[in-house]
Chains A and B, each alone.
Chain A
Amino acid sequence: MTDREIDVALADSPTVDKALLERISRRIVPNLRAVRPLAARLLAVQLIAIAAAVAFAGASQIGFYAIHRLTDGQTAMIFPGLAILIWLAAAAATAAMIPGARQRLRPLPLMALACAALLAIFALIFRDYSTARFLHQGIAYLKAGLMDALPAGLVAWLVLRRGFAVDSAAAGAATGALAGLAGVLMLELHCPIFKAPHVMVWHTAVIPVSGAVGWVMGKSRNLKTPRTSRSLALPKSRAGG
């Protein structure tokens, strides 16, 4: 059998029971009302605004110590870099909530890219490699970053709920990565410790931890997805009709 013959055999779609199609139409058409299509760009802009607002709010609570001590060169490296990563994460989270959207960057490569980019930037601009009080200070700042990522993630998820995730785990990971970047932004505005190991390990760690929490939450949501026909009490085809 040639490829052409296989194509012809496959292209033949059998007809579907007319009664079934009528039943579906009867269920959908009478309840029909106009809906506003999801504005993907606006959604991404909202996510960027949420990440920035939560980071600034967090830093304003505990003090903008870092921003006053950073040199112009350091500021010019860190904040545009973070802005690009937040934009990429917002685009990935938005794409994850639109079925069939073109996904330029999946959550895992996004997190890997964000961590690699931040590690490179931090390695380039911080030269103090002392590790005094590395663990003690580090854990405190990791916690602070995650505490900032938490509200960012929750508000972002509320905004994203208007979409529909065909893969909740991926959508959760993308949202978690975005929230993690908000946490990193807050730390870069606040944290006065400019030791390279501290910044590279504990600040960057906020992204994978937050992304992993988002992934787990999305995965658990996947397992609890309600059955549509049950929730709308649609008569099942086996019930006849």
Chain B
Amino acid sequence: MDSDGELEALMASYQHGDGTAAAALIERLSPPLHRFFLAQSISGRHADDLLQETWLRLHQVRHTYRPGEPVLPWLYAIARHIRVDHFRRTRRLEAREQQLEKLPERAGAARPAGGGPDVEAALRELPESQREVIVMLKVSGMSLEEVARATSTSVGSVKQKAHRAYEKLRSLLAEEGR
């Protein structure tokens, strides 16, 4: 059975009330989901919270998954909704907060071992829409069609965003390498 078929079978079992399938899905899908949140310039602590929140929401609305359909667009559409919701909440809170003193500068991400170019840092430089497309395509291994469904856009738009993201990533990494 291929990976997509396996996920679909696990999801169908989860809908039938199989706890083992639920645990397997959590174990298997959490790392790329966590990375999805981290890549959106969300701190590790908030990424943990959003991961929990996403699973609880997935659990509440698991009946909206239709057997035979790909799992990842369904999952990432919900994760994206949670992230947007988080962003909205954070922005509202930040608008009310008054900064009393200058905060220390945020520590940069640790450079990869071996001193190679820092892809994570370059990824954070991308616009949000390009970043999420790249993470879905390359971290989660989704197809263009699946990303289009998860982001409610067209395949053409996803292709364009991925192309632009790669151009920018290449130039950022080249600059860094110099």
Contacts and interface: CB of A to CB of B under 8 A. Distances in A.
B78 to A, nearest CB: 5
Bin chain A's interface residue count.
35 or more
Contacts of B81: 99, 166-167
A117 B81 CA distance: 33
B166 A3 contact: yes
B170 interface: yes
Contact of A34 (B17, B35, B45, B112): B17
Contact of B78 (A21, A23, A164): A164
A100 B56 contact: no
Given A3-B166, A103-B152, A238 B22 contact: no
Nearest to B173: A1
Interface in A1-30: 1, 3, 6-7, 9-11, 13-17, 20-21, 23-25, 27-30
Contact of A167 (B65, B89, B152): B152
Contacts of A97: 64
Interface string A147-166: 00000000000000011101
A46 B155 CA distance: 30
Given A10-B123, A238-B45, A102 B149 contact: yes
Contacts of B16: 34
A236 interface: yes
Contact of A106 (B27, B59, B78, B152): B152
Interface stretch (A68-76, A83-91, A180-188, A222-230): A222-230
B31 A15 contact: yes
A140 interface: no
A57 to B, nearest CB: 30
A97 B66 CA distance: 12
B149 A100 contact: yes
Contacts of B119: 6, 9-10
B49 A237 contact: yes
A136 interface: no
A229 B76 contact: no
Contact of A100 (B67, B73, B123): B73
Given A6-B119, A40-B66, A163-B64, A236 B15 contact: no
A232 B54 CA distance: 12
15 contacts: A6-B170, A13-B31, A17-B48, A24-B30, A27-B52, A27-B55, A30-B19, A32-B19, A99-B64, A100-B70, A100-B78, A106-B152, A229-B52, A234-B52, A234-B56
